[in-house]
């Protein structure tokens, strides 16, 4: 599917209202998800219970349940604090600028990061939404490179400027940090960008007055170009005037050929 062409911005005021409305919905959606994460953590803390058994356990069939539940759980309040702001910023950018692509990208990153942990993870219980945040950062950055329109480039620069250090955490480092989740989420974010970078149409752009002027003078330019082409194009052979015509009638004098008699050869033994 090809990306539709940019449409002229017919009503800047209406377009600005639509952009604000879309940004507000994206912000509320991201904030609602973060509120859910905090409510779950406060529930664990208040009742002194632990949902760690619902995390991803690599190589275990029972651990597959973590593909759905692990991003909702965190090992500590500090772990949740570290994920709160990245999820709010990156989630809002993704949902506001790429609402159609994000509908497919978020489930892919959510499930793909958990599946990567289950396949290559260490023998431990893996919790947290770090894989989701890493996937969203690489998703936004990759879309900025693929699409290259102004909102895409701006979102990619914001994401990389604020959270570009996430790229370094996809490699093994701190044993308490699940680098497997980071790497799997980042890989799924890049994959989602490659699959659905054409899903959202490009933004509307302002149309300038000189563009309309160019369209109005185009027929005149075409006529002048055709006239100039006719001026310098050589005429057909049948249209070229002939300066001299050979007479076709045999009765007309066609000229006289003056004969030259052969020169007599000298006799042998004679001198000239």
* Alpha helices (runs of H) in the chain, residue ranges in sequence order: 12-47, 66-69, 77-97, 99-120, 130-147, 150-163, 179-196, 209-232
Taking the model in full, what pTM does it have? 0.71
pLDDT tens, 187-196? 999 999 999 9
Domain-embedded: residue 18: yes
Q: Is it the case that residue 173 has pLDDT exceeding 90?
A: no
Lowest pLDDT segment from 41-50, 115-124, 163-172, 230-239: 230-239
Question: What does the H/E/C string look like for 39-102?
Answer: HHHHHHHHHCCCCHHHCECCCCCHHHHHHHHHHHCCCCHHHHHHHHHHHHHHHHHHHHHCHHHH
Confidence of residue 124 (pLDDT cuts 50, 70, 90): confident
Residue 167 belongs to domain spanning: 12-196
Can you give the pLDDT at residue 17? 85
The CATH number assigned to the domain holding 92 equals 1.20.1540
Q: Is it the case that residue 29 has pLDDT exceeding 90?
A: yes
Cα distance between residue 192 and residue 140, in whole Å: 10
Domain-embedded: residue 6: no
How large is the average pLDDT for residues 17-38?
Answer: 93
CB 166 within 8 A of CB 189: no
Q: Is it the case that residue 270 has pLDDT exceeding 80?
A: no
Confidence of residue 220 (pLDDT cuts 50, 70, 90): low
Can you give the pLDDT at residue 2? 43
Domain-embedded: residue 21: yes
Domain-embedded: residue 266: no
Domain-embedded: residue 16: yes
CB 117 within 8 A of CB 178: yes
Domain-embedded: residue 211: no
Domain-embedded: residue 145: yes
How large is the average pLDDT for residues 205-216?
Answer: 58
Confidence of residue 158 (pLDDT cuts 50, 70, 90): very high
Domain-embedded: residue 223: no
CB 128 within 8 A of CB 83: yes
How many CB atoms within 10 Å of residue 76? 12
Average pLDDT, the chain: 82
Cα distance between residue 161 and residue 127, in whole Å: 26
Lowest pLDDT segment from 12-21, 108-117, 255-264: 255-264
Confidence of residue 92 (pLDDT cuts 50, 70, 90): very high
The CA dihedral of 13, 16, 17, 21, to the nearest 10 degrees, is: 170
CB 6 within 8 A of CB 203: yes
Can you give the pLDDT at residue 4? 45
| Percentage above 90 pLDDT, the chain | 44
Can you give the pLDDT at residue 1? 41
> Coil, helix or strand for 216?
helix
CB proximity list for 234: less than 8 A, separation 6 or greater: none
Phi then psi dihedrals of residue 56, to 5 deg:
-85, 125
Domain count, the chain: 1
């Amino acid at each position: 599917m090809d990306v539709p062409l940019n449409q002229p911005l017919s009503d800047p005021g209406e377009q600005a209202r639509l952009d604000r409305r879309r940004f507000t919905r994206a912000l509320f959606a991201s904030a609602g998800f973060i509120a859910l994460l905090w409510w779950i953590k406060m529930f664990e803390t208040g009742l002194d219970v632990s949902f760690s058994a619902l995390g991803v356990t690599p190589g275990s069939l029972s651990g597959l349940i973590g593909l759905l539940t692990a991003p909702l759980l965190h090992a500590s309040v500090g772990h949740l604090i570290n994920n709160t702001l990245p999820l709010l910023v990156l989630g809002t950018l993704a949902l506001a600028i790429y609402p159609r692509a994000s509908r497919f990208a978020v489930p892919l990153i959510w499930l793909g990061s958990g599946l990567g942990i289950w396949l290559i993870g260490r023998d431990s219980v893996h919790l947290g939404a770090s894989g989701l945040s890493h996937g969203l950062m690489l998703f936004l950055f990759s879309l900025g490179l693929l699409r290259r329109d102004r909102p895409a480039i701006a979102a990619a620069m914001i994401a990389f400027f604020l959270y570009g250090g996430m790229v370094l955490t996809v490699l093994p480092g701190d044993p308490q940090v699940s680098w497997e989740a980071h790497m799997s989420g980042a890989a799924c974010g890049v994959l989602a960008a490659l699959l659905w970078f054409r899903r959202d149409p490009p933004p509307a752009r302002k149309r300038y007055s000189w563009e309309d002027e160019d369209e109005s003078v185009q027929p005149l330019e075409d006529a002048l170009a055709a006239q100039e082409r006719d001026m310098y194009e050589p005429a057909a052979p049948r249209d070229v005037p002939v300066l001299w015509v050979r007479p076709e009638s045999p009765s007309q004098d066609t000229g006289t050929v003056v004969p030259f008699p052969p020169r007599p050869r000298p006799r042998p033994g004679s001198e000239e």
